[in-house]
Structure 1
Amino acid sequence: RNSVEVMMEKSGLNRFLDAMVSNEDVSKGKPDPEMYLKATELLGLKPAECLVVEDNENGIKAARDAGCHVMVVRDVLDVTDENISRELATLQNP
């Protein structure tokens, strides 16, 4: 969990997070959807109300299997306000 927190802080992505779930918080890792289901529960949201930003195939599968929307990125530089806003707009106006 500590490594995830450090990575999020160094990348500046922690400002986007209202909750954080790591592999230490669940019994099954990705591609099982447990991690995302736990995160949506912590946020008090339904999975269909959440946008997950993911960069690996197991995470993408886990998020989709949980019922979340997924923004696939290939690099941390893809995670920008503009790209996230664009993705959210497509979800709000399909």
Structure 2
Amino acid sequence: MKAAALLFIIGLLLVSGGSHSLQYFYTAVTPGTDFPEFTAVGLVDGEQFMYYDSNIRQAIPKVDWIKNNEGPDYWTRTTQIIQRFEAIYKDSIGTVMQRFNQSGGE
């Protein structure tokens, strides 16, 4: 019998000036699924502008306006920040699996 996959989703909503919204969604799942163990998606006013997952290990732009306005330093910093979140989430998944006596295998 396979253990059920655990899933964490957290959304962070920041609003500035009342006219725009910035949201980040972080998703972590237990190892052994066909889905990346960690993903991050950034949205401005509901439009996805960036993506990261634990397979590619790099934040990438998803729309032209961000590609044309942010350089490599921005993407390096963003990748580093998200990788810190990834480490925290992976740690949390491990803790939850222990507490619920889930080995992650058969």
- TM bin, normalised by shorter chain, reads under 0.3
Q: Which TM-score applies when normalising by structure 2?
A: 0.23
Q: Which TM-score applies when normalising by structure 1?
A: 0.25
Q: Kindly indicate which of the two structures has a greater share of residues assigned to helix.
A: 1
Q: Kindly indicate which of the two structures has a greater share of residues assigned to strand.
A: 2
